[in-house]
Amino acid sequence: MTDQNQLMLPEALGLQNIQTERLTLSPLRAEDADEMLSSLDDVRLHNFVGGQPGTLEELRTRYARLIAGSDDPGVLWLNWIVRSRSAGTAIGTVQATISEQPNATAEIAWVIGVEWQGRGFAIEAATALVGWLRAEGVTVINAHIHPDHSASAAVARRIGLSPTTIELDGEILWQVSMSSGG
């Protein structure tokens, strides 16, 4: 991380693939929308966050916006496609929005396609993301989870986050601070 609330660009961070035993997290590219559409095209993924699956054009537009990054120079958007190493198939996404105010803080999220759920992929991908963030100097990691979403709560617990008493837009803030030994 840098001084004066100015974050490094993803390229300067050396944003690259993150490997785990079963997964490769690849930096988001615009052309990933075509492959991701089938993994994200299930209404059950929207049970807790609302909305509905988007069209290919909507997903392409969303990915282009994510790649362009935040208009705020103090906020960095990082996004990866989660792929099965054995099949090479895109199965989900992980993301981190990093800000330095006053500590390097990351808001993280993960989505694994319904077909791939229940196999520990979300835990494996989120663990890899948190490890990468720690190595980059992030000191606080947050996730916002619907109180009824037990699967996401289980992932958050496994990666070291704890629920707080803070609720925003119907979601509970889960958090870990590396400065407190997390």
Angstrom distance (rounded) from CA 78 to CA 93: 11
Give, in order, the Cα–Cα distances in Å from 131 to each of 20, 124, 134, 140, 173: 11, 11, 5, 12, 20
- Reading the block at residue 65, the tokens are 């916006």
- What CATH number was assigned to the domain covering residues 18-180? 3.40.630.30
- What are the b/e assignments for 54-69, b being 16+ CB within 10 Å? eeeeebbeebeebeeb
Closest CA to 182 of 116, 144, 130, 107: 130
Confidence grade of residue 4 (pLDDT, cut at 50, 70, 90): very low
pLDDT, residue 3, reads 45
pLDDT, residue 66, reads 94
Mean pLDDT over each residue of the chain, to the nearest integer:
88
Cα 51 to chain centroid, rounded: 18
The single-letter DSSP state of residue 52 is -
Across residues 29-34, what is the average pLDDT?
92
Question: How is the chain split into domains, by residue range?
Answer: 18-180
- Residue 175: beta bridge partners? 142, 162
Across residues 92-119, what is the average pLDDT?
92
Angstrom distance (rounded) from CA 58 to CA 127: 29
The 10s digit of each residue's pLDDT in 117-167 is: 999 999 999 999 999 999 888 999 999 999 999 999 999 999 999 999 999
pLDDT, residue 14, reads 57
Angstrom distance (rounded) from CA 6 to CA 3: 6
- C-beta neighbour count of 16 within 10 angstroms: 13
